[in-house]
Amino acid sequence: MTNICYPNKHDLLSVEQALLEIRQAIKAITGQELIALPQALGRILADCISSPIDVPPLRTAAMDGYAFAAGDLADGRQAELQVIGIAWAGKPFLAQQAQGQCVRIFTGAVVPEFADSVIAQEQIEINGDTVSLPADWQPYKNIRAAGSDVKQHEELITAPKKLSARDLSLLAAAGVEQISVKRKLKIGFFSTGDELVALGEPLAIGQIYDSNRYLLAGLLSDPNHTVSDLGIVADDQLKLEQTFKNAAQQHDVIISTGGASVGDADFVKQTLEKCGQVNFWKLAIKPGKPLAFGKIGDCWFFGLPGNPVAVLVTYEKFVKPALEQLAGAPPTQALRLRVRCDSRLKKSPGRQEYQRGILCQSADGELAVRLAGQQDSHQLKVASQSNCFIVLDADNTGIDAGEMVTVEPFAAVL
């Protein structure tokens, strides 16, 4: 890990530079495991998968109707066909057919060998055991060819990919039962701060409830993570050192919140320096200025700020892409939209800001955003009410109501 210089004003590192540094440092894990298809939702496909069969395996009817051979009929005039049997989905029609005969067929049924066309039942007239086709009947319609979805040996899914419900149904259609995925990341997280109290205990004067651990537990929830909550660690360098060393032996990644600044009770940076390698950055981002990034042995370390909204922003912007990269997932990017801003936004130049906003869509589809409330980095209620970040570039000096801004809706990624 290189030590980066701070080309920005006031010694702040830009978001892009910090991301580049993280991207260059982290290599994807190599471990894989074989799992059953129903367990694979959200996991990261490790090896490309080819289809063992044609999908569909045979020619099938695309709708309910009658299967016939177009060559039995003269073009452009009404025709009569005798119905000699039924082809059901799962129960094929196997008997012989003579010229001028057809078979009643249902969607998904195998098309009998003699037939090359299916006419929809709405288009014919039934007269006893014969059907009459209209003069404008079309040959070769309503049949799905074998392999018309996927051919045998064709690649079904290219690795790496985070598997969606759509992917699982594709794999199931091809009969794939077991899937090779990246192993899960082992992630430990804890809070630091003498003022912090776990839920269920009364607050003494000066104490606050630890909210960051619940935020992080939620943000880290992912089928590719095995997450351990390591509790609260006091502002005590020895205790921090013990926690860092123990946690580093058991995890791929450790995330702490608090104590990452430069106050007298902020020991994260010194402790990380003592136990491993450290890159401590003051970032040109608001909220979330201090961020410690480093390694203890083989374990990556992220020391996030203490203020909960700064935890949210630094997790989304730095930790999430780092975890994706480490897990071997293809990178995702937050969906960004340009929308009208109905609030006036205050902003001083120097740091990129992620203000909490409420994005709405009117009945005619027009998008507009407004500020969710006050923007102090401890204000969790405003964060809870918001549904997007309003992203303001470092050199922006504020927005008047009615101007266009960039927003990132939460949980919408490309």
- Pick from 64, 149, 194, 195 the residue near ligand AMP by CB under 6 A: 195
Report the residue number whose CB is nearest to ligand AMP.
306
- Pick from 188, 193, 276, 321 the residue near Mg ion by CB under 5 A: 193
- Distance CA(355)–CA(346), nearest Å, equals 10
- Pick from 52, 263, 297, 402 the residue near ligand AMP by CB under 6 A: 263
Q: Which amino acid is at 69?
A: A
To the nearest 10°, the Cα dihedral for 199, 202, 205, 211? Answer: 10
Are 193 and 288 in contact by the 8 Å Cβ rule? The answer is no
Find the part of the chain contacting Mg ion (CB under 5 A) among 28-36, 47-55, 302-310, 332-340: 302-310
Residue 193 lies near ligand AMP (rule: CB under 6 A) = yes
Give the DSSP per-residue string, 77-129.
S-EEEEEEEEEBTTB---S---TTEEEEE-TTPBPPTT--EEEEGGG-EEETT
3-state secondary structure of 44: strand
CB of 214 to ligand AMP, least distance (A): 9
By a kind-dependent CB cut-off of 5 to 8 A, residue 308 interacts, out of ligand AMP, Mg ion, none, with ligand AMP
Chain positions 71 to 100 lying near ligand AMP, rule: CB under 6 A, are none
Are 232 and 198 in contact by the 8 Å Cβ rule? The answer is yes
Are 358 and 407 in contact by the 8 Å Cβ rule? The answer is no
Residue 220 lies near ligand AMP (rule: CB under 6 A) = no
- Pick from 117, 307, 343, 386 the residue near ligand AMP by CB under 6 A: 307
Residue 211 lies near ligand AMP (rule: CB under 6 A) = yes
Residue 101 lies near ligand AMP (rule: CB under 6 A) = no
Contacts of 74 (CB under 8 A, 6+ apart): none
CB nearer ligand AMP, residue 160 or residue 287:
287
Residue 306 lies near ligand AMP (rule: CB under 6 A) = yes
- Distance CA(291)–CA(268), nearest Å, equals 10
Residue 373 lies near Mg ion (rule: CB under 5 A) = no
Place of tokens 């009643």: 104
- Pick from 160, 188, 259, 276 the residue near Mg ion by CB under 5 A: 259
CB of 17 to ligand AMP, least distance (A): 22
Tokens matching residue 222: 């992912």
Find the part of the chain contacting Mg ion (CB under 5 A) among 43-51, 190-198, 223-231, 361-369: 190-198
- Pick from 112, 160, 188, 258 the residue near Mg ion by CB under 5 A: 258
